[in-house]
Amino acid sequence: MRLVIARCSVDYAGRLSAHLPLATRLLLVKSDGSVLVHSDSLSYKPLNWMSPPCTLAAMEPDADQADAGVIQIWRVAQAKTADLLVISIHEILHESAHELGHDPGLQKDGAEHHLQKLLAEQIELLGDGYRLVRREYMTAIGPVDLLATDAAGGSVAVEIKRRGDIDGVEQLTRYLELMNRDPHLAPVTGVFAAQEIKPQARTLAQDRGIRCLLLDYDAMRGMDDSDHRLF
């Protein structure tokens, strides 16, 4: 990622044509080549930008442009469409480059993780006498979301999804098959917990003796006060 603070003007020609007069702005060049032009205020979205895939070419200004005070031209072209972003740089006030690495962050599995955390804290939602053994219980083929014990002390594997689909049931089935080979755990029963369970998934689960549990996210959040005392 490259950060450049520069006095520049910007022209965009594509689905519409737009122009940004000369001013000091942040130019943000991401590692995929995309470019964002940000001002110091108003809104999370850039004044102008180019989405990947695109190519950035830094060019020398021609005589006219140099006379007008331009020291460098950035030409950002979309790979597929004819969209073109041209940044005329008059002065560079700051420039730095940084290696950020890949970002693991997706808020999607954040929600699923949150659901997992909430159900771990409210394990009684599985039924009376249930107790949590551990979250992310590791097996040879991957972590089971929750491992618990029922009132009789039997092992229970819980797979948590935001939307329960057939492949979620298949996944849990593989875990159960493996875990039931372990004499320390067996017999292990399964619970398929999700905010929404598709009819096909429910049918498949019932056919395999897996219990389905609908989760009420809002109610679970309401029970949990950690949202209100977040740090």
Q: Which residues bind DNA (CB under 7 A)?
A: 12, 14-16, 18, 42-45, 48-51, 78, 83, 85, 106-108, 162-163, 167
Q: Residue 21 binds which one of a second copy, DNA, none, with CB within 5 to 8 A depending on kind?
A: a second copy
Residue 52 contacts residue 77 (beta carbons within 8 Å): no
Cβ closer to DNA: 63 or 106?
A: 106
Q: Residue 78 binds which one of a second copy, DNA, none, with CB within 5 to 8 A depending on kind?
A: DNA
| Residue indicated by tokens 């039924």 | 127
Residues contributing to the site for a second copy (CB under 8 A): 1, 3, 5, 10-13, 16-21, 23-26, 28, 30-32, 34, 36, 38-49, 51-52, 65, 73, 75, 82, 84, 86, 88, 93-94, 96, 98-108, 110-111, 113-114, 221, 227, 230-231
Q: Residue type at 231?
A: F
Q: Identify the CA nearest to 146 among candidates 155, 165, 159.
A: 159
Q: Residue 167 binds which one of DNA, a second copy, none, with CB within 5 to 8 A depending on kind?
A: DNA
CA-based Rg of the chain, rounded to a whole angstrom? 27
- 174: number of CA atoms within 13 Å, CB side? 11
Cβ closer to DNA: 51 or 72?
A: 51
Cβ closer to DNA: 47 or 123?
A: 47
Tell me the H-state helices in the chain. 63-67, 107-121, 166-179, 199-207, 217-223
Q: Residue type at 137?
A: Y
Cβ closer to DNA: 17 or 96?
A: 17
Cβ closer to DNA: 108 or 184?
A: 108
Nearest distance in Å: CB 43, DNA: 2
Q: Residue 38 binds which one of a second copy, DNA, none, with CB within 5 to 8 A depending on kind?
A: a second copy
| Residue indicated by tokens 């219990």 | 211
Residue 180 contacts residue 210 (beta carbons within 8 Å): no
Nearest distance in Å: CB 8, DNA: 14
Could you say which DSSP state residue 215 is in?
-
In the numeric block, which tokens belong to residue 208?
């395999």
